[in-house]
Amino acid sequence: MASLKSPVQRLILAGGFAVAIAAAPVVSVFATPTAPVAPQAQGCSGGEEPDQFTGNCVPHTVPNAGSVFTTQPGNPDVPEVMGIPCIGHNQGGCIGLAEEAQAQTVTPPPAPVFSHSP
């Protein structure tokens, strides 16, 4: 590659790069084809609504139709002890309640029965 010795040559080369960089966004705006606008479904029949992505009529989903699955309130995947979830800042309390629950279930050994003979 030939080296540029004259400051005028360097200035012309730098100016050419600046023009190319500045013109790139303008060229990309005019070079991209415009997408045709999809027709919007206006007159959907009963029980259907227009889909916002395709523009076609799709069956309306009923949010309160009931569920096949039943879940507990909150997050059913989180273990809990006495209603306190065992995650985050409740972890210490959860461990304490679990230990306390185990301590409550321990029964003392039966009292010895002494028999006497008459």
For residues 81 and 101, give the distance between their C-alpha atoms in angstroms, rounded to a whole number. Answer: 9
Indicate the length of the chain as a whole number. Answer: 118
pLDDT exceeds cutoff 70 at 71: no
What is the identity of the amino acid at 103? Answer: A
Can you give the pLDDT at residue 18? 92
What is the identity of the amino acid at 81? Answer: V
Q: 98 or 19: whose pLDDT is higher? A: 19
Q: What is the mean pLDDT of residues 15-29?
A: 85
Q: What is the mean pLDDT of residues 21-49?
A: 72
Can you give the pLDDT at residue 68? 37
Can you give the pLDDT at residue 113? 75
DSSP H/E element including 20: helix 7-31
pLDDT exceeds cutoff 70 at 48: yes
pLDDT exceeds cutoff 60 at 74: yes
Residue 70: which pLDDT band, with cuts at 50, 70 and 90? very low
Can you give the pLDDT at residue 38? 55
Cβ neighbours of residue 79 closer than 8 Å, sequence gap 6 or more: 85, 86, 94
Is residue 50 within 8 A of residue 57, CB to CB? The reply is: yes
